[in-house]
Amino acid sequence: MSGGDIHAAARSGDLSKLQSILASNPLAVNSRDKHSRNSVSYSLFYSSLSLILIQSFLPSLHLAAWAGQAQVVSYLCKQKADVGAAAMDDMGAIHFAAQKGHLEVVRTLLSSGVSVRATNRKGFTPLHYAVQGSHLEVIKVLLKKGASLDAKTKAGKTPLDLAVSEEIRSLLKEREQAAEEVNTGGKGRLNNLILQGHRWINRKLQ
């Protein structure tokens, strides 16, 4: 059988054919097509989770995240895939998921321990990508998990600078204002405590 047979099986989700091919030639699982895609890539793109499970090795978490394959991502995380691994330009799986707006994938990665503030080589965080793509629900999840509104890319851009949607701009501005009020209030309370402390010390010294 040719390498194209296994790719066709993966693409169509034909598990029995794929198992037959791999039984006679286990190494075929890593054969690539002219676009450098292997059977795992096809399986991920065509949501064929069962095809992934027949091999004990872990497929690309980044590819699964990019393709929005929530089931595959969940499976890989449970199999202790390196969720914090970086690909080209230090892109993590969560960057791809946020960029594409795959909400469930983002949630799965965060619950598996991925840092919500992870940055790539360009200084982009998942929030930068979610804002840039106008993925509102992903933005809300990232903010709830502690994404930084002050994080800047290497070009000096904050998430707000990348916002195109007025709804998203308003949301980010509201969050910034709320954070500023909390910080200001906290500093005010601290100053009051310091002042009270000084008064107490002065009374003791008199």
- Higher pLDDT pick, 75 / 19: 75
Residue 62 has what pLDDT? 80
Using CA atoms, how far residue 147 sits from 59, 71, 144, 175, in Å, is 28, 25, 7, 11
The separation between the first and the last C-alpha atoms of the chain, rounded to the nearest angstrom, is 96
Task: Tell me the domain boundaries of the chain.
Answer: 1-57, 60-165
CB-CB neighbours of 19 under 10 Å: 13
For the residues 36-51, what does the mean pLDDT come to? 55
In whole angstroms, give the CA distance from residue 60 to residue 42: 12
Compute the distance between CA of residue 87 and CA of residue 42 in angstroms, rounded to an integer. 19
pLDDT more than 70, % of the chain:
62
Tell me the average pLDDT across 144-156.
97
Helices (H), the chain: 3-12, 15-24, 39-45, 49-53, 61-67, 70-78, 93-100, 103-111, 126-132, 136-144, 166-205
Per-residue pLDDT tens digits for 79-100: 777 888 887 788 899 999 999 9
Give the pLDDT of residue 15.
58
Average model confidence (pLDDT) across the chain: 78
The two domains 1-57 and 60-165 share their CATH topology (first three levels equal): yes
pTM of the predicted model over 0.85: no
Tell me which of 106 and 48 has the higher pLDDT.
Answer: 106
Residue 88 DSSP label: G
What is the sign, positive or negative, of the torsion defined by CA atoms of 102, 103, 106, 112? negative
Q: How far apart, in whole angstroms, are the C-alpha atoms of residue 84 and residue 107? A: 14
CA dihedral 195, 196, 200, 203 (to 10 degrees): 70
CATH superfamily of 1-57: Ankyrin repeat-containing domain (1.25.40.20)
Residue 33 has pLDDT above 70, yes or no: no
Helix (H) or strand (E) holding 97: helix 93-100
pLDDT for 70 equals 86
Whether residue 177 is predicted with pLDDT greater than 80 in this model: the reply is yes
Q: What is the mean pLDDT of residues 111-124?
A: 97
Contacts of 162 (CB under 8 A, 6+ apart): 128, 131, 132
- The C-alpha atoms of residue 126 and residue 116 are separated, in whole angstroms, by 7
Give me the architecture of the 60-165 domain, per CATH: Alpha Horseshoe (1.25)
What are the tens digits of pLDDT across the range 50-82? 555 444 333 357 877 888 888 878 877 887 778
Query: pLDDT at position 55, please?
Result: 43
Judge whether residue 12 has pLDDT over 70: no
